[in-house]
Structure 1
């Protein structure tokens, strides 16, 4: 363990340095796993006992360093509830991902015991992709550290995400790391010169072919002209003061003033941030809401305009109508929602409820099994605790037929989920968020960078409204063409190009991780079968 621990730590540090928002170091992703693979190789080949445990512990330490250094800011979002609660809850994103990553390497070790190294390395890629897909799909989802996200700061390299999504980046990173590892170990294993040259040749092709293709696409990509004028407002209201300290109508006035300053007669969309309407609004009485009336009054001067804004809404029931419904003190039940609203000049209102909820802050993971923790979780994520989600991605349609994909905060890191909105007819992506909870940390920058990948995957403009920054417009190549500064009260506008063409990724979704999960299942069943066979031999 002692001689392999520095290698594990080196892997963690290399991957952290390579991760957004650090510029110019993305290339380290291609060698970040090599020290870890060498450490595991050393453990496999030594003659000490408890190799499986040592493999797991070594991998866990390296990946814990990588994850913690990249998402240290998660603690800031939870500290409002106090350190006693925030510290244990923060351990979920800090340690759960590394545990799953270490499990993938442990499965690789088990496969090495019964199969050639090249087979086990292919298995490792499948196990890793399977872990990533699991971590975006279960109740404790947190796909922030999906390997393909590492290219968000160097989006010019991965224009082919329109075919593969971020999981294509995961395969790219894993494959090159494995090839570099094989070249290195070949030097100490007296590998033949021809074999070594072949591996070097394959590694160069795998590295340069996708890179060259991407840079060519980036240089030659031309958007079809279909302009729409959009205004994004950033009110810069301290999230800790939104509830109660600043009157709700004053907060809406701030947004109206910022929007009106730069609006044009032909502006078609105004976009305000998450929970911009800071009162709990009964969804059965939306049209009688004073705040929505205030917004509608503002829109009267813009004939074709639509407003996409965040709000907190609720529904009441006489009986427990849904699994997420909570009891009210005065009797009956209610569901609360983190909502995106589409408001028009006419009577039509459209609603979308955030579906990808933050575990702990907005939803209770494995609610039935952990129901005893509800009193704790209800204090997280503002004053609402557990939200009720929509079942699928949504689309807002304007009076003129323009489709917009509403994406609320955390949802924007799910490429496949955003792609479903686009497949339903969205011609641009509207991200509304409140990154102020994280304060001035790299979390806000990573969140913005990841939005560039959504633009590439779908070839849609991204219009991003953040309460306390960073708001931005991102074109179909993933370029941030305009953005605000952090902690600045302002608004920006842009003529974006609407797009109705569907990319391969939008049409087919996350086919790569789904295949990885199937192969992971096959690998696990194979290992279980081999273990059972070994037991039968020993007892015969």
Structure 2
């Protein structure tokens, strides 16, 4: 038992070492699950009672270590949301993910009992992909630890994400780990030389072919010239002071000064961070809003310019015209949004409302069942349960016809969502965020690294504006061309190449996890049916 626990811990530590933002240790992804697989094999072949429970508990230890060491920084955001909200927020990355991972391993054990090792391992990959897809799709979403994200620091290895998205990386990691595990087991079980040779060949091809394709694509890829001048501003305003201690008009003045410092007459986009305008703005009457007018005055010097900025917006109603509207004290209803706003030298203003919210901090999971908790969060002064989502991805179009995909903070983890914006005409991606909540931890670095994968999936430049770092420009190969330092007030300017070509992934989206989830459900149904008939026979 002690040996099995040590194997699980060893897996957790190797996977942590492999994870972004640490470069050059990514290779541990290819062997990180091997001790875990050996541990499960030991339990399956042992005389222990309650083997399923042992596998679940033992794998949970390793997965908990891996997840907690990688996303320890979540704790730093707790002081903004209060202790009542903080507890469930921390449970999501620290415990819920490992629980789902361990469930996938337990299902592998159950399938292994009914079939054989080969089918069981194929099922394990499907169960894992099913867990990852669930964890990006349901109300408790947290796809931060999707295995394919692990290649973010070595993006040269996964240029084929333009065909598969990050789930291709998940399958690659599991395929290599399983082959290494089988090679070890073949020695321990004294398998035939022919069987061992086949495993070595399979391992070599599975490792080398994706590497070769990716490196060839990386070095051969050439962007089509189609330049657009873009500026990202990083005002470096303490996120804990943005809400009131620093007036919003002063924050906008800082942003306009930074933008002016690098602007050219032909600059087409000024990108400001998620929390640039922290006071609430009525969308229906934005033209009379003082902050909007301040931005328009800045744009007078740049006739083709657009300011893409974050802001808090709302719409008021006399009566509840939809299910999302919440009562307003004193009468009436409103929808409140975390928004991206595109302002230009026209009366037209374009809005996009954040659609992927942080569970607990920005959204109330399973709100229909837990709607009675909304007054509690409102009393605490938090935004939980009050934001209204946009159900479809959006594209902002400039006067010149340039399309940009607005992506707000947490949304940059959803490759499929961004790909849908690109499919609707976005020629580059603008990520606006405020990573200062996590302070100077690896969280901000991981968030930047993941943006590289979005560039590869869509073959679009990424312009990233972060309030307190890290702001950056990322090219279509996923290279960080420019980036700011942490906690530095600055602006960056770049001529980016717009792209209108559609990748296979943009055209087909998350087809791999959908297929894997279907196979996982079929596997679970098969187990339930077998269990039902076995009980019936025994009875």
Report the equivalent of 1:234: 234
* Unaligned 5+ runs, structure 2: none
Report the equivalent of 1:4: 4
Q: Which structure 2 residues correspond to residues 293-372 of structure 1 after superposition, within 5 A?
A: 293-372=293-372
Distance 1:146 1:468, change over 3 A: same
Task: Measure the CA separation in 1 of the matches of 2:508 and 2:381.
Answer: 34
Deviation at 1:191, TM superposition (A): 1.1
Report the equivalent of 2:489: 489
Task: Measure the CA separation in 1 of the matches of 2:305 and 2:85.
Answer: 44
Runs of 4+ in 1 over 3 A off after TM superposition: 81-85, 375-385
Deviation at 1:80, TM superposition (A): 2.4
Q: Which structure 2 residues correspond to residues 109-188 of structure 1 after superposition, within 5 A?
A: 109-188=109-188
Larger mean CA deviation between 194-203 and 423-432 belongs to 194-203
Q: Is the 8 A contact 1:75 1:87 kept in 2?
A: no
Q: Is the 8 A contact 1:460 1:476 kept in 2?
A: yes
Deviation at 1:376, TM superposition (A): 4.3
Task: Measure the CA separation in 2 of the matches of 1:380 and 1:84.
Answer: 9
Is 1:511 the counterpart of 2:507? The answer is: no
Helix, strand or coil at the partner of 1:267: coil
Deviation at 1:372, TM superposition (A): 3.0
Deviation at 1:85, TM superposition (A): 4.4
Root-mean-square deviation (Å): 1.2
Report the equivalent of 1:57: 57
Deviation at 1:272, TM superposition (A): 0.3
Task: Measure the CA separation in 1 of the matches of 2:378 and 2:243.
Answer: 16
Task: Measure the CA separation in 1 of the matches of 2:278 and 2:82.
Answer: 23
Task: Measure the CA separation in 1 of the matches of 2:386 and 2:131.
Answer: 26
Deviation at 1:322, TM superposition (A): 2.7
Task: Measure the CA separation in 1 of the matches of 2:8 and 2:128.
Answer: 17
Distance 1:524 1:241, change over 3 A: same
Report the equivalent of 1:79: 79
Deviation at 1:84, TM superposition (A): 5.8
Task: Measure the CA separation in 2 of the matches of 1:438 and 1:63.
Answer: 22
Task: Measure the CA separation in 1 of the matches of 2:372 and 2:67.
Answer: 29
Task: Measure the CA separation in 1 of the matches of 2:6 and 2:201.
Answer: 30
Task: Measure the CA separation in 1 of the matches of 2:13 and 2:131.
Answer: 21
Helix, strand or coil at the partner of 2:268: strand
Report the equivalent of 1:470: 470
Helix, strand or coil at the partner of 2:363: coil
Helix, strand or coil at the partner of 2:365: coil
Helix, strand or coil at the partner of 1:3: helix
Distance 1:511 1:85, change over 3 A: closer
Task: Measure the CA separation in 2 of the matches of 1:28 and 1:533.
Answer: 43
Deviations 1:298-317 (A, max 9, x none): 01111111110000001111
Q: Is the 8 A contact 1:239 1:437 kept in 2?
A: yes
Deviation at 1:381, TM superposition (A): 9.0
Task: Measure the CA separation in 2 of the matches of 1:461 and 1:382.
Answer: 34
Report the equivalent of 1:195: 195
Is 1:414 the counterpart of 2:430? The answer is: no
Deviation at 1:384, TM superposition (A): 6.9
Q: TM-score, normalised by structure 1?
A: 0.98
* Unaligned 5+ runs, structure 1: none
Deviation at 1:419, TM superposition (A): 0.2
Deviation at 1:241, TM superposition (A): 0.4
Task: Measure the CA separation in 2 of the matches of 1:459 and 1:30.
Answer: 26
Q: Is the 8 A contact 1:362 1:380 kept in 2?
A: no
Q: Is the 8 A contact 2:358 2:410 kept in 1?
A: yes
Deviation at 1:386, TM superposition (A): 2.4
Helix, strand or coil at the partner of 1:278: strand
Deviation at 1:385, TM superposition (A): 5.4
Q: TM-score, normalised by structure 2?
A: 0.98
Task: Measure the CA separation in 2 of the matches of 1:413 and 1:130.
Answer: 17
Report the equivalent of 2:262: 262
Distance 1:243 1:358, change over 3 A: same
